């Protein structure tokens, strides 16, 4: 097993709580990778020898971004829908059906190529782990192939057959829920780790959402929920009731919702590029953190409500619009995302962690929000290898 010493690190973000602050930041630091794991972290002066060395010349090193919410298996785009929103048309869940039609018509090769393009785009921006949902097929065959394609790129695959009710079931939503919890679930279960449901007006109500999540849990899938995006509703409370890992969006929250998230230990996944793209109010992350809720940041990259693959962009928005500090935003985009995916091996740079890290073309992580829109990623390592 070969080892690599990375030295000359101006600022090293470890996310190690034992080091006394949120980011566990070290200066004039070094790090040793052995195989796919972090083997040692500390002062440059105390660094052990390794098989090879890389001097990063005073650059900052941070854990790789963990993007815990994305929709990458799709065809077509909805640029005209975006343009309409910019002239005043409000966002609604119904636009999803446009992408469903295009995705059903696409070949496996076309869908795979699109996912590969987007994942490569994410890697160039420092993302080392990405969760990928289905949800643009909405037939047993199309949902299964979407998850099989997603599985070529990540182990964090999510079954979202309950994205919206497709047009052919418009007059029989109960029949579609039966499909999602029965034959469709049978077809996808071997390809999915997670099950998700869009609990929202225009999508699925509380009872439907509960039935869908419970069916997935019985098959060994873990739960996530699209919750409280378009207005106050039952999504957050349902996520807490079933023990979901995360409730994502959380744009409209009551005090009772926040108390439930804190009590249940459900991660609040915030998706700032969606508010940016839909001209919706931004959630108040400060309110969540002050109540003891764990916050994750993710892109929700999708062709409709927010077509950004950039975690640095999300960090900058969270600092500017969601009242997070730069340190809190970075933690939420790394360790917070790892908690959302229940991955204790990710989101930190401590001995034994997976060696997923990003080297910035900057002396400190502060530049991620200080210089928004600038390509600041110099190198990205996944499992100890540069990509």
Q: Is 2 exposed, middle or buried (0-12, 13-18, 19+ CB in 10 A)?
A: exposed
Pair of tokens at residue 87: 């002239």
Pair of tokens at residue 36: 């796919």
Pair of tokens at residue 5: 């010493």
Strands 60-63 and 3-13: parallel
Per-residue DSSP letter, 152: T
8 Å CB contact between 42 and 18: no
Give the pLDDT confidence of 223-271 residue by residue, as tens digits.
999 999 999 999 999 999 999 999 999 999 999 999 999 999 999 999 9
Q: d(Cα 197, Cα 378) in Å, to the nearest integer?
A: 37
Q: Which residues of the chain have pLDDT under 70?
A: 92-94
pLDDT of residue 93: 60
Q: Which residue has the tokens 């100890």?
A: 384
> DSSP alpha helices (H): ranges in 265-325?
272-278, 285-290, 311-321
Q: d(Cα 333, Cα 323) in Å, to the nearest integer?
A: 15
In which element (H, E) is residue 329 found?
A: helix 326-331
CB atoms within 10 A of CB 365: 26
8 Å CB contact between 198 and 180: no
Strands 157-162 and 377-382: unpaired
CB atoms within 10 A of CB 48: 11
360-363's contacts with Cβ under 8 Å and 24+ in sequence apart are: 360/59, 360/60, 360/61, 360/62, 360/126, 361/59, 362/59, 362/60, 363/10, 363/11, 363/58, 363/59, 363/60
347 CB contacts (<8 Å, ≥6 apart)? 15, 63, 66, 334, 335, 336, 337, 338, 339
CA torsion, ordered 280, 94, 134, 385, to nearest 10 deg: -30
**pTM of the prediction?**
0.97
Give 32's strand partners: 5, 40
Q: Which residue has the tokens 């696409």?
A: 106
pLDDT of residue 20: 87
C-alpha 68: how far from chain center: 2
> Within 13 Å of residue 181, how many CA atoms lie on the same side as its CB?
18
């Amino acid at each position: 097993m070969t080892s690599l010493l990375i030295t000359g690190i101006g600022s090293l973000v470890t996310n190690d709580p034992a080091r006394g602050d949120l980011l566990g930041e070290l200066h004039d630091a070094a790090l040793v990778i052995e195989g796919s794991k972090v083997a040692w972290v500390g002062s440059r002066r105390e660094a052990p020898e390794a098989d090879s060395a890389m001097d990063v010349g005073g650059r900052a090193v941070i854990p790789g971004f963990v993007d815990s919410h994305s929709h990458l298996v799709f065809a077509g785009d909805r640029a005209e829908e975006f343009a309409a929103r910019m002239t005043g048309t409000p966002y609604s869940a119904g636009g999803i059906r446009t992408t469903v039609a295009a995705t059903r018509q696409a070949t496996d090769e076309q869908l795979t190529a699109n996912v590969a393009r987007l994942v490569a785009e994410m890697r160039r921006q420092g993302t080392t782990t990405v969760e990928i949902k289905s949800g643009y097929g909405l037939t047993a065959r199309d949902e299964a192939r979407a998850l099989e394609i997603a599985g070529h790129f990540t182990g964090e695959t999510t079954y979202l057959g309950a994205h919206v009710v497709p047009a052919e079931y418009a007059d029989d939503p109960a029949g579609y829920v039966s499909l999602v919890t029965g034959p469709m679930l049978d077809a996808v279960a071997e390809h999915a780790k997670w099950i998700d449901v869009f609990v929202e007006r225009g999508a699925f109500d509380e009872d439907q959402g509960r039935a869908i999540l419970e069916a997935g849990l019985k098959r060994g899938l873990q739960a996530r929920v699209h919750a409280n995006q378009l207005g106050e509703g039952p999504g957050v409370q349902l996520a807490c009731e079933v023990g979901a890992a995360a409730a994502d969006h959380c744009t409209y929250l009551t005090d009772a919702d926040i108390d439930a998230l804190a009590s249940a230990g459900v991660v609040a996944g915030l998706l700032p590029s969606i508010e940016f793209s839909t001209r919706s109010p931004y959630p108040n992350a400060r309110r969540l953190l002050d109540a003891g809720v764990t916050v994750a940041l993710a892109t929700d990259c999708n062709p409709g409500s927010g077509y950004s693959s950039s975690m640095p962009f999300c960090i900058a928005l969270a600092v500017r619009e969601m009242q997070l500090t730069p340190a809190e935003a970075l933690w939420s985009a790394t360790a917070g995302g790892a908690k959302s995916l229940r991955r204790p091996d990710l989101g930190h740079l401590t001995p034994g962690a997976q060696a997923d890290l990003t080297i910035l073309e900057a002396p400190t992580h502060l530049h991620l929000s200080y210089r928004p829109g600038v390509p600041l990623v110099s190198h990205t390592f996944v499992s100890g290898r540069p990509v």
